[in-house]
Amino acid sequence: MNIFLNNQIRRNQTLLDIMFGRKVQNTKTNKNMQSGRRDTVTISSEAQELSMKKSISGRTRNTSVDSTIDLQKYIDDARESNRAALENAGSEIDVNAVTYTDSSEAFRAALTDKYSKLAAEAKTHSNPEEYIYGKYYDKGSQYYEANLTETERRIAYNYEMQMYKDGKINGVSYQDSLFRGIEIYGDVKDNDRIMFKRQTINRQISNILSGAGIDTAGIPDTCSFTVDPYSYYISVDGVDDSLKQPMEQALNQGSNGKNLYKHILTCSTQDGCNSSQVSADSKLKFQAFQQVYEYIGLKLNELDERGGTYYTKDGEDIKELVRTAVDKSGTVPCDYKAQVKQWICGMISEISGKGWNNVADMNLSILFQSGRLIDTKQSIVYAQDSEWIKDTIGSSWYSVTNK
């Protein structure tokens, strides 16, 4: 049996989160997406050997319960949850408006099912905690589980004790015996989540246009959206004027432009995308503009550029204004203030040295064909029927199939 899932690999990137205007949290890394490789959690040789044995002397209650857990059911439930969520995507472009049920949630539900059954059995004993301990660590106990590796034993003991005491388990360990004999693959950058976000935005755009009385079936495949990196205005091209004006009016509401820009940027900067729309200099220009605007509310392209910095009409150096604003910021932890100030001021100096008008703006475009967004000017196309998606994550978000 193979399980394709999003094995969430995280590391602390607090400073980067602050710099890019995200909430301080752990983020995921992406190392293998370019070649389509997957990180793999493999079972131990000990577990493989135990799996191949036809009989085990001793009690094997845990693995017997494992055989009653239908992993595909939990995946199907997650898929149905996602389908229902898309039906209620709303009429504003916002990927965060729709909750995504990922594979780790599906498998946590399966583990919860397993250990709920085991904890219920434990409660039938006069001393449940003593019973649970004996199951896993007392070889003289009549309840000792013989068919577990040391790793599986430790995980099972912790999970069963958690379920008995708290009524829930903490986290998801893919080395639990429930997953024995299974190869668990995880795309480090979580391509399935990106695909879900793409489908969310497709649905939201369709709702926006339909709500404005625009028939998406009548929009030609030459249609494209281009988002300005400073105003976030969405320009519609490749259609006649009778469609262009009403489409732009419908789309340019609230934070639609900003959220569409962020989505295109995310899909253009994954490893292996090789987007020609994003260069180091254009990204630097965009980031410098956005960071300055966020902290002091001024637009770099409207300021006086000279001497490696920018000045207001009153002659104030924006570097000093930024430093003061960061110092006063309640969202930047004290330990990171110096680094944030250095990072933003460094960008200001670099873009001023290159010359604002000498660096291309990072306008981002995406095609809109048959009622859906299609990536352009890059190697990876996040569309359900694209060859890259078929080869990398298949037609569904995740699945279970027999070997």
pLDDT in tens, 369-380: 999 999 999 999
- Phi/psi for 15 (5° steps) reads -60, -45
Q: How far apart are CA 117 and CA 125, in angstroms?
A: 14
Residues 262 and 140 in one domain: no
Question: Mean pLDDT by 10-residue block, N- to C-terminus, for the chain (403 residues)?
Answer: 36 40 40 40 58 64 94 88 92 94 89 98 97 97 94 97 97 92 57 87 97 95 97 97 97 98 95 93 96 96 95 96 96 95 97 96 97 94 77 52 33
Report the distance separating Cα 50 and Cα 148, nearest Å.
8
Report the C-alpha gap between 267 and 241 in whole angstroms. 29
Hey, is 142 helix, strand or coil?
A: coil
Residue 174 lies in a domain: yes
In a domain, 207, yes or no: no
Identify whether 248 is part of a domain: yes
Angle at 171 between CA 170 and CA 177, to 5 degrees: 100
> Contact 113/178 with Cβ under 8 angstroms?
no
**What's the confidence (pLDDT) of residue 378?**
95
Assigned domain for 9 exists: no
Question: Which among 364, 391, 380, 4 has a CA at the least distance from the CA of 194?
Answer: 380
Residues 175 and 311 in one domain: no
DSSP letters, 38-97, are -EEE---HHHHHHHH-S--SSB-HHHHHHTT--HHHHHHHHHHHHHHHHHT--SS--GGG
Same domain, 79 and 162: yes
Contact call for residues 82 and 199 (beta carbons, < 8 A): no
Interhelix angle 256-268/241-251, nearest 10 degrees: 100
pLDDT at position 51 is: 60
Question: If we measure between CA atoms, which residue out of 217, 223, 269, 225 comes closest to residue 382?
Answer: 269
Q: At what angle do helices 318-328 and 334-354 cross, to 10 degrees?
A: 160
**Shared-domain flag, residues 173 and 222:** no
- 160 and 62 within one domain: yes
DSSP label at residue 373 = E
Strands 2-5 and 10-12: unpaired
Which pLDDT does position 57 carry in this prediction? 63
Does residue 61 belong to any structural domain of this protein?
yes
pLDDT the model gives residue 52: 53
Tens of pLDDT, residues 178-203: 998 776 655 533 677 888 899 999 99
* Residues 232 and 349 occupy one common structural domain: yes
pLDDT at position 358: 96
Pairwise CA distance, residues 243 & 227, whole Å: 17
Radius of gyration of the chain (CA): 27
Residues 157 and 304 in one domain: no
Domain that holds residue 169: 39-185
Q: Are residues 147 and 222 in the same domain?
A: no
User: Maximum Cα–Cα distance for the chain, whole Å?
Assistant: 85
Tell me the C-alpha distance between 40 and 63, whole Å: 22
Please name which of 59, 70, 67, 63 lies closest in space to residue 47, comparing C-alpha atoms. 63
Evaluate whether 92 touches 208 at the Cβ level (below 8 Å): yes
Residues 170 and 228 in one domain: no
Are residues 398 and 193 in contact, defined by beta-carbon separation less than 8 angstroms? no
Angle between helices 318-328 and 280-296 (to 10 degrees): 60
Structure tokens at 323: 């430093």
Q: Length of the chain, please?
A: 403
Q: How far is it, in rounded angstroms, from Cα 373 to Cα 226? A: 12
Q: Is residue 105 part of a domain?
A: yes
User: How many folded domains does the chain comprise?
Assistant: 2
Same domain membership, residue 241 and residue 176 = no
User: Are 180 and 242 in a shared domain?
Assistant: no
3-state secondary structure of 320: helix
H helical segments located in 176-312: 191-211, 241-251, 256-268, 280-296
Residue 183, helix vs strand vs coil: strand
Of 66, 167, 157, residue with least CA distance to 120: 167
Cβ–Cβ under 8 Å, residues 9 and 39: yes
Is 399 part of any domain? no
CA angle, 174 as apex, 44 and 177 as ends, to 5°? 65
Helices 241-251 and 191-211 sit at what angle, rounded to 10 degrees? 110
Strand partners, 2: 183, 401
Q: Is residue 160 part of a domain?
A: yes
- Helix (H) or strand (E) segment spanning residue 353: helix 334-354
Judge if 248 and 367 occupy the same domain.
Answer: yes
